Amino acid sequence: MTEHVPMEISVRQQDGIDLLEVHGRLTIGEPAEQLNEALQSIVQRGGRKVVINLNGVPQIDSSGISSLVRISIQLAREGGAVHLVCGSGRVRDALTVTRLVEAIPTYESDSAAAAGFA
């Protein structure tokens, strides 16, 4: 059985935007729950503009995608939005196949994603 490095999420704020940098597999179980908890804490303290950087994520499954969809819908209902940062690779392919890149604005860099809120 392969051992996987635990997922790490770092959160910082810049110009009223919450930036999450995710490292590790975003898959069913604890990783997806970890992301949900981090996102919910941002929403609960009033965060409405969220950038999630997925460049450190080597793999995403339906649970991870579901987490992204859920927070996107929740923020939209509350007058906010989520933007994704994801370069080319397996995760970008998964987001493209599921058409998530059409539903959630997806950028190549943090700065482009943050500028997308303007």
Q: For residue 2, is pLDDT > 90?
A: no
pLDDT digits (tens, 9 = 90+) for 69-86: 999 999 999 999 999 999
Helix (H, G, I), strand (E, B) or coil at 42: helix
**pLDDT value of position 102:** 95
Mean pLDDT of the chain: 94
Q: For residue 92, is pLDDT > 80?
A: yes
The DSSP secondary structure of 63-106, one letter per residue, reads HHHHHHHHHHHHHHHTT-EEEEE--SSHHHHHHHHTTHHHHS-E
Its pTM stands at 0.94
**pLDDT value of position 6:** 78
Helix (H, G, I), strand (E, B) or coil at 33: helix
Helix (H, G, I), strand (E, B) or coil at 47: coil
Between CA 86 and CA 116 the distance in angstroms is 14
Percent of the chain with pLDDT over 70: 96
Two tokens, residue 41? 């804490």
Two tokens, residue 44? 């609960």
Beta bridge partners of 10: 21
Q: Please, what are the domains in the chain?
A: 8-115 (3.30.750.24)
Two tokens, residue 106? 């997806």
